[in-house]
Structure 1
C-alpha cells in the first residue's frame, strides 16, 4: 500500500480565524467608513501571530508578542463576538426565546392541518423532499409527546454544531436539512459510540471512516473531531446521493442501515419509492427518514411545538482553532489559558489521551474559546516547561478492532475491507489455514496511515 499523504493536505480547515475576521471587516465597512480598513496591516500581523508555531514560541521564551498587535487582536475579537451575538453568525434555527404551552400538551391536540401547511412551506424552500406524509406526522407527535427533554438539549447544543454543519453542507452543495442526521445518530455528542462501534457525531464505522481518510490510532480518533468528521460525512452523503440517482430518502436510509439492506428492500418491494420500500427496511431505518423530516419541522417551529432549549453549548463563533507543532498536554493548555482540563477536553474530543500530538504528522489543531487564544500564545512557553517529563513521546500505533465473521466472509475480503493483508490477519489471530466460521471473532490491527 502507498503511504498516506501529509495529513495537513487531507484534514479540513477548522474555524478559519482570518476568514471570519475579514468577513466581519467587510460587513462593517459601511458603518465604520475607512477607519477600520486603515488598520489592515496590523490585522494581518495579528492573524499571523495566531499561527505562531509552538516550537518557535518556546524558543522565544522570555519574549512576548508585540503588545500593540495583541491589544488590537483582542479588540477585534471583542467587536467580532459582539456582532455575532446579534445572530449574524448563529445557525438559521438555533435560537429560541420563548415557548408557551408544553409540547406534551400540544401533542394531545396537534393541529395536523397546520403542520402539513408548514411542511409544505418548508418543502418549497429546499431541494430535500419534505413533503408531508402520515409517518412524518406520527414522528412529530411522538417527539413532542415523548422526547421534549431530548429535543430541548439538542436545541441547546445546536449553536455549537449547526453553523459548522451548515457551512460544510453549503460548500458541498448539499441540503442544509442534512444537519439533523447527527441529532438522530449521536444526540450531537462527539464522544457517542454505539454497541457496533460506530463513533462520533456522524457515527462512522471504522472501515467507512478510513475510506474517507479520517485518522484513527492510539492518540487520535478523527471520527470524534466535529470538523473532520463533518467533512467526511459530506463526501459520504454525496456518494450515496449519486448511487441512488438523486433520491435523498433512499440515500439516508442507506446511511443508516447500509446499502445492502436498502437494496434488498428495493427488490422485495418492487419499487424505488421510499414510502413503498420503507415497510421492507429494518424498523429503525423505517423511522429514520420520517424522523429527519420531523426534526426539520420541529426546529423550524419550536414555539408551535412547545420546545425550549436547555444546556446551551458554547456557540461556534466564540471558538477558534490554532495549529500546534509540539506535543502538548491538556493540563499544560489549561495552565496557560486558565481554563479547566475538562473544558479543553470537551472542545477537543478527538484526542484520546489528553495530549495534542503536534510533533507528528505536520501539526494538529486545538480548539479554544476566542478569548483564550492570546493567553495560550503568551503562556505556552512557560507552560511547556511545567513537568515536561510527563509529556509522552508520541508514536502512532494501529488500533486493535474486533471483527465478527459473517456468512460468506473469507479472509481475502475481510483483509481488503480493512486495508490489511491475509498474512497479517493469520498472524494476528494465530491461524494456520484459511478456514474461518460465521460468528468467529477476528482481531485486526488497524492501518495507522
Structure 2
C-alpha cells in the first residue's frame, strides 16, 4: 500500500551505488526497498520508524532489558506524579509489565506504529471530556488499535463495543454503517460511557473494570469484599477474566511511554492523524470508484474509512464523513464527478433498513421460520448476528431489521 507504508530505501545500497558513480534504476530501488521492509518486519530489534536510525548504537537496548522492579518503580512514580490515575508501582502490575515486556514486544511494536494515527484524536476527545489522557491506552488493551477488531462475543471496533451498549451510546449500526469502527464517533461514545461509569463508582479503576465486566459484576465484587473502596482490595472478588484487566492497562500505559528503555520500537508505522482530513460526501459512492480516480488503492480507502460495511458510502439524501489524505483532498474534490461516473452500474440499490428489533428464540424456532416471519433472508440474520452457522439456542437474542412490507 504505497500511501500507508512507504519506507526509505536501504541506505547501504544507496551508498554502494553512489560509490560506484551510478544511480539505481526504479526496479532495483524497489527491490532494495522490498528487502529492507521485509528485514525490518522480521528483525525483532529493528524499527521501520526511520526517526530512530539517527540514534547512536549505545542508546539502543536489547529487548526486555531493565524490567526489574528497581528500574520500573521510579519511572512509574514519575508517571503517577503527572496523572489523575493511580500509576504507582505495585507487584501485580509489575508482573504484567514483565509479561508484556518480554512476550508481547512484537505486538507492542505494532501498537507503537499505529499510535500516531489514533492517539492525537483520542487525546483531543479525552481532553474535551475532562478525562485522564492515559485512558487512550485502553484502546490498546481492547483492540490493539485495530478498528476492524472483533471479539468472539461480537464486540467490535477500537473500543470493542457490544451491539446493545453501542446503541445505548447513540452509535449507528445498520446494514451499511457500523459506527463502532469509526475512530472519532466510537471514541466519543467510549468517553461518554467511561464518564458515566466513573460518576457511578467514583474511581477510574472501578470504571475500567465495569467497562470490561459490567457494572453488576463490579457491584457484586464490592459487596463480596465487605464494601471496600480500594480497587486492589476488591480485585480478588472480580470475575477471573477481569482481574488482569486493570493491571494490563497499567502495564501497557507504562510500556507505551517507556518502550525504548526496554528495546521495544515502532513497527509498520501508520501516517499521523494530521495527515488525514475529513470530507462530507453524499453517496452512493463506492470505494473502488474513489480509488479509480485517485492515488489511493481500494484497500487504503477502506483502512481510512472502516465504518462502511459494504465498501461504499450509502445514499442519497444524507452526507457522510470520508477520511482522506490531506495532500489528496484537492484531487478528490476535483475528481468527484469522475469517480461517480466510473462503472455506476455496479452500485447496488440502497434499501432502507428500519431500526432493529430484538427477537428471543423460542423452542422449535429455526432461522428459516424467523426470517420468513420478519420478511428477511437467513443470510441477513446471520450477518446481523455474526452467526457462523444456522444453529441457534432457546433464549438467544437475535437482532433483526424487519421488512415492514412483508410482515
* Pair in the same fold by TM > 0.5: yes
After superposition, give the CA deviation of every residue in 1:338-357 in whole Å (9 maximum; x if it has no partner): 21101001110100111101
Rounded to whole Å, the distance in 2 between the matches of 1:179 and 1:351 is 24
CA contact (8 A) 1:96 1:309 kept: no
Q: Name the residue aligned to 2:345.
A: 389
Q: Do the aligned partners of 1:320 and 1:368 also contact (CA within 8 Å) in 2?
A: yes
442 and 236 in structure 1: CA distance in 2 versus 1, 3 angstrom threshold: closer
Give SS of 2:243's match. Answer: helix
After TM superposition, list the pairs within 5 Å mapping 1:396-411 onto structure 2.
396-397=352-353
Structure 1 unaligned regions, length at least 5: 1-93, 406-423, 430-437
Partner of 1:311, secondary structure, is coil
- Alignment match of 1:155 (pick from 112, 120, 132): 112
Partner of 2:22: none
| Matches of 2:215 and 2:114, distance apart in 1 | 30
Counterparts of 1:188-203 in structure 2, within 5 Å, are 188-203=145-160
Distance (whole Å) between structure 2 residues aligned to residue 358 and residue 277 of structure 1: 50
Q: Which runs of 4+ in 1 moved over 6 A?
A: 399-405
Question: Unpaired segments of 5 or more residues in structure 2?
Answer: 1-48, 362-369, 376-392
TM superposition shift of 1:290: 1.1
Match of 1:130 in 2: 87
Q: What secondary structure is seen at the aligned counterpart in 2 of 1:191?
A: coil
Counterpart secondary structure, 1:384 = helix
Q: How far has the Cα of 1:337 moved from its partner?
A: 1.4
Given the alignment, which residue of 210, 225, 243 partners 2:167? 210
Q: Counterparts of 2:160 and 2:267 in 1: how far apart (Å)?
A: 23
Tell me the residue number matched to 1:111.
Answer: 68
User: Which residue of 376, 392, 399 corresponds with 1:444?
Assistant: 399
Distance 1:178 1:446 in 2: 35
Structure-2 separation of matches of 1:96 and 1:178: 26
Partner residue in 2 for 1:243: 200
Residue aligning to 1:36: none
CA deviations over 1:368-391 (Å, ceiling 9, x no partner): 111111111111112211211212
Q: Is the 8 A contact 1:240 1:254 kept in 2?
A: yes
Contact 2:166 2:180 in 1 (8 A): yes
The correspondence of residues 336-415 of structure 1 with structure 2, limited to 5 A, is: 336-360=293-317, 362-397=318-353
SS at match of 1:393: coil
Following superposition, the deviation at residue 447 of structure 1 comes to 9.1
- In the superposition, relative to structure 1, how do residues 402 and 100 fare at CA in structure 2: closer, same or farther (>3 Å)? farther
- CA distance in 1 between partners of 2:357 and 2:68 (Å): 49
**Larger relative CO (CA 8 A, sep 6+): 1 or 2?**
1
**SS of corresponding position for 1:366:** strand
Distance (whole Å) between structure 2 residues aligned to residue 266 and residue 96 of structure 1: 47
Return the alpha-carbon distance in structure 2 between the equivalents of residues 368 and 175 of structure 1.
29
CA distance in 2, matches of 1:242, 1:203: 21
1:350–1:396 CA distance, 2 compared to 1 (3 A): farther
Contact 1:201 1:226 in 2 (8 A): yes
Counterpart position of 1:17: none
- TM-score, length-normalised on structure 2? 0.75
**Secondary structure in structure 2 of the residue aligned to 1:338:** coil
CA spacing shift, 1:96–1:198, aligned 2, 3 Å: farther
Question: Which residue does 2:10 correspond to in 1?
Answer: none
Equivalent residue number for residue 9 of structure 1: none
Which of these residues, 309, 317, 330, is aligned with residue 274 of structure 2? 317
Distance 1:199 1:127 in 2: 28
